């Protein structure tokens, strides 16, 4: 089974702190994604990556950056956390190439910024 593991299920940070969210997948997937999920809204794409050291902005990249130094690991960084970044963050991966795009998700990291 594909496993996508997110490093922290729950985090509480203060405004202005730097936050790292780590995501690791174990199925050699090419594509990795970071989404945020807020009540009443659909999943919103922050950043995605189709290859090592490659990154593309999603719909809401402002205030975030990412790093993909190894194929299996995709990190989301909040340089200076703000209260409007309080959310559930979901990492996902997919095979890549000509596949249908089925996503495999991690269990999420719920971030609260005070």
Partner 1 sequence: GQNIDQPTEMTATEGAIVQINCTYQTSGFNGLFWYQQHAGEAPTFLSYNVLDGLEEKGRFSSFLSRSKGYSYLLLKELQMKDSASYLCAVLDSNYQLIWGAGTKLIIKP
State the residues that interact with partner 1 by CB under 8 A. Answer: 4, 40-45, 90, 100-108
Query: Least distance in Å: CB of 1 to partner 1?
Result: 11
Nearer to partner 1, 62 or 102 (CB): 102
Asked if 4 and 109 count as a contact pair (C-beta separation under 8 A), the reply is: no
Q: Of 2 and 77, which CB lies nearer to partner 1 in the complex structure?
A: 2
> Which two tokens mark 69?
């130094």
Q: Residue 18 CB, nearest distance to partner 1 (Å)? A: 26
All residues at 6 or more sequence positions from 64 whose CB lies less than 8 Å from its CB, including other chains: 34, 46, 47, 76, 77, 78
């Amino acid at each position: 089974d594909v496993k996508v593991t997110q490093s922290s299920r729950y985090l509480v940070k203060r405004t202005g702190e730097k936050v790292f969210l780590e995501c690791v997948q174990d199925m050699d997937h090419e594509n990795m994604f970071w989404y945020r999920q807020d009540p009443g809204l659909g999943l919103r794409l922050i950043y995605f990556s189709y290859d090592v050291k490659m990154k593309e902005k999603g719909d809401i990249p402002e205030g975030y950056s990412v790093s993909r130094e190894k194929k299996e690991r995709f990190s989301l960084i909040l340089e200076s956390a703000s209260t409007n970044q309080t959310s559930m963050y979901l990492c996902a991966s997919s095979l890549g190439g000509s596949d249908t795009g089925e996503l495999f998700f991690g269990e999420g990291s719920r971030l609260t910024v005070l």
